[in-house]
Structure formats: structure tokens, C-alpha cells
């Protein structure tokens, strides 16, 4: 007989319907190589603020920031709230040799 006692996991709807536990990390810097920003739990949403004048590439893998699988956050701007369930992002300066710095705010799930 099946059990209705479900523990949190990637397919646990309640973990993504409830408000996220606040998490933030400031001053994350990258230049020519991708820097990994790891979250302690799976996210419900993230917001990335580029605090430098240079654009920054944001990817969901280190290979993405080196290829074409990334999005760009322009200098001194903030991304929209991204509803994604991820455990890490990678950042890399869009201009070789110039540093880019970002602040990240996220809502974490129980997963």
C-alpha cells in the first residue's frame, strides 16, 4: 500500500509554492574565468544585481558562460526575478581582462 507521507524533493510541489527562505551573497567577482556561486539548497527564485560597470555573463554551467548558453546582465543593472530551481550559477565578465562583480539574492526551498 502506498504512503502519502512525502518528504521534500524536486517534485514536491509544496516546496516551490511556499515562500523561499531568504539568502544573499554580495561581492562575487569574476574576470576571465567562470566563478561558481553555490546555493546551500535548491532555489525557488534568484535575482542578480551587477554592481560593476562591465556586463557579466550568467550561466547555469561553467561551459555555458564560455559558449553561447548564458544571459547577460548589463553594468549597474538588476535582472528580473528568475523563477528557477537550481543549486548553482556561474558568472564571468563579458569583457576579457575586466572584472565584473555581482550580488545575488535568492529564495531557497526546503530541498
**pLDDT for 16-74, tens place per residue?**
677 789 999 999 999 889 999 999 999 999 999 999 999 999 999 999 999 999 999 99
Of 36, 35, 44, give the one whose Cα is nearest residue 14.
Answer: 44
SS3 call for 40 = coil
Among positive and negative, which fits the CA dihedral 100, 52, 47, 109? positive
* pTM attached to this predicted model: 0.85
Q: How far is CA 25 from each of CA 41, 65, 73, rounded to the nearest angstrom?
A: 14, 20, 17
Amino acid at each position: 500500500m502506498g504512503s502519502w507521507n512525502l518528504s521534500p524533493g524536486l517534485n514536491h510541489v509544496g516546496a516551490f509554492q511556499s515562500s523561499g527562505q531568504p539568502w544573499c551573497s554580495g561581492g562575487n567577482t569574476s574576470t576571465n574565468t567562470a566563478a561558481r556561486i553555490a546555493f546551500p539548497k535548491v532555489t525557488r527564485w534568484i535575482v542578480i544585481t551587477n554592481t560593476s560597470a562591465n556586463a557579466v555573463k550568467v550561466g547555469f554551467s561553467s561551459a555555458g558562460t564560455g559558449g553561447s548558453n548564458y544571459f547577460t546582465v548589463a553594468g549597474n543593472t538588476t535582472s528580473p526575478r528568475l523563477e528557477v530551481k537550481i543549486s548553482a550559477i556561474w558568472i564571468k565578465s563579458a569583457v576579457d581582462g575586466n572584472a565584473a562583480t555581482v550580488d545575488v539574492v535568492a529564495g531557497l526551498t526546503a530541498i
